[in-house]
Amino acid sequence: MQPIARISSTDHAVNHIRDSILSGAYRKGDKLPAEMELCELLHVGRSTVREALRVLQAMGLVEIRHGKGAFVTDRENAVTPEMWFQKYNYKVADIMQVRLPIEQMAVRLAAINMQEKELSHLQEIQDSFRRAVEENNVNQMTLADEYFHGAIIEGTHNPLLISFNANLTEAMREYRLHSFSVPGNPEHAVGPHEDILSALRLHNPELAAAYMVTHIQSSLSDMQRIL
């Protein structure tokens, strides 16, 4: 299970690299320092650097070229939330179509299987998500939301479902980042998260599933309003 501290360390890495790009320290076409060099510079682990680079790529600030490294892109070509949703509507629709039954099934299993320690961890993640929304910190919202849903999947104690979710999470990362960049959308997730958590604490599978369906459908509505 991923510690909640990773949220702040990734956010720190994203902010540092982004600020360096926006200040002109790195210009269009420049190659960013290698992963290990960034680890030493930012005092974070390699997985944190990789996650930060994926977030920056979703923001349109860097391009990750496999086997070559990360390169600064043309900031004028950075993708706005509206542009991203219009371009990837088919992809998001496909993801959401798969996500609904998967998360509905997962939250039912989690309501049965989650232990108190796991529920406490989920509450910590939700607290981090709420703080990020209050501070309008999009990077931290994105990661906290990812960890919230990931912790529920882990709470199923089903290895196959956990493995499958890893691919879905990767596909969802850009969607989350751009969705939370739209004013009003982050607030729409706070209440549903609380409802889902309360149902899990009651170990009520049907109630948890009903709250999850409402949450996913609300997320889809937020996306459709942008298109």
Tell me: the pLDDT tens digits for 23-72? 889 988 999 999 999 999 998 899 889 988 987 887 778 999 988 999 99
> For position 1, what pLDDT does the model report?
41
Segment among 6-20, 32-46, 62-76, 110-124 with least mean pLDDT: 6-20
Q: Is 90's pLDDT higher than 70? A: no
d(CA 52, CA 12): 9
Burial of 3 (0-12, 13-18, 19+ CB in 10 A): exposed
Give the confidence band of 81 by pLDDT, cuts at 50, 70, 90. Answer: low
Sketch out the chain's domains with CATH numbers.
5-77 (1.10.10.10), 81-226 (1.20.120.530)
Distance CA 58, CA 51 (A): 11
Q: Which residue has the higher pLDDT, 128 or 179?
A: 128
98-107, 157-166, 187-196 — which one is most confidently predicted on average? 187-196
Question: pTM of the full predicted structure?
Answer: 0.68
| Average of per-residue pLDDT values in the chain | 85
Angle (CA) 180-127-208 rounded to 5° is 80
Residue 78 has a CB neighbour count (10 Å cut-off) of 11
In what helix (H) or strand (E) does residue 186 lie, and over which residues does it extend? Answer: none
**Alpha helices, H only, 114-204:** 116-134, 138-154, 159-180, 187-201
Q: Which pLDDT band, with edges at 50, 70 and 90, does 207 fall under? A: very high
Confidence (pLDDT) at 181: 84
Cα–Cα distance for residue pair 181/221, rounded to 1 Å: 15
Q: Cα separation of 132 and 209, whole Å?
A: 25
Q: How far apart are CA 125 and CA 3, in angstroms?
A: 9
Query: If you average pLDDT over residues 179-189, what whole number do you get?
Result: 89
